[in-house]
Chain A
Amino acid sequence: MELIVSKFNYWAYIVMILVGLYGMMVKRNLMKKVIGMNIFQWSIILFFISIGAKKGATVPIIIKGTEHAVKAADYINPLPHVLMLTAIVVGVATTGIALALIILAYRRYRTIEEDRIIEALKKR
């Protein structure tokens, strides 16, 4: 019980990652796959942000007037945030390309169900 509560954050993101992964790997609708992909990526981002969290610290913007006595312990670790900004951008880019591919696939097969597309491909 103690294990579950003290790391609730981590358990929660594990569930989210698995939900996303399930959507990507098992769902047959391509759109669902892309939605799962987004959930997957955002859960990883959540994980990274959780790394950065620091008890008793504030947002990593230096408060005016304290420039000469900045203590690292007062501010949240900014590095994961930076990394995750990049990851978000990668996520958007992935989404954009994936959606374009879905439009193309739909144009060709008139469906976005994976198994139907595979059938259509086999028939050729």
Chain B
Amino acid sequence: MVKDPDDIIVRTVARFMIPIIQLFSLYVYVHGHISPGGGFQGGCILAASFILISLAFNIGEAKKILSGRKNLLFIGLGVFIYAFTGLVPLFVQGNFLDYQHLSQFLPLDPVMARYYGVALVELGVQITVMAVMISLFQDLVTAGRHESILKDRENGIDR
């Protein structure tokens, strides 16, 4: 997987598949309210697309799309969105995670506020799951040495 798979077919299929996978993950997330799916599954699938990039090309390619720092930020950001959404109702006498009080900030009735509140937290879940899965995979596959492995590749060393 770290070796360059000099296989044109794999790369072409991957190039073709990746946008579809990403679209599908978005579909899973959006449709989570009315069909199986949701943030977690969506996040996993989104991460799978990045894993596929890493497999078909290399980690550097994946990092071009989503740099390491950004990914780290996303790890924290997702849960922060979730927790902060839960915190917001506290300012308007609601309980923690009581989304219906979001209706005081958004032009929505309480039930719909719950509906979109759930969507919001699922977004947070998706972001974190995606970022963590990517980071986990990259760390495990390189045993934590992203850079040295990339450098080795530039120098033509096959590990």
Q: Which residues of A contact B (CB under 8 A)?
A: 59, 61, 85, 89, 96, 99-100, 103, 107
Contact = CB atoms under 8 A, between A and B. Distances in A.
Nearest to A88: B40
A107 B140 CA distance: 13
Contacts of A107: 143
Task: Rank and list the top 5 A-B pairs by shortest CB-CB distance, nearest first.
Answer: A96-B136, A103-B143, A99-B140, A100-B140, A61-B35
Interface of B: prevailing SS: loop
B107 interface: no
B34 interface: yes
Interface residues of B, number: 9
Interface string B39-82: 01000000000000000000000000000000000000000000
B50 to A, nearest CB: 16
Interface in B78-131: none
Nearest to A62: B34
Q: Which has the most chain A C-beta neighbours within 10 Å: B34, B36, B136, B139?
A: B136
Nearest to A60: B36
A4 B136 CA distance: 43
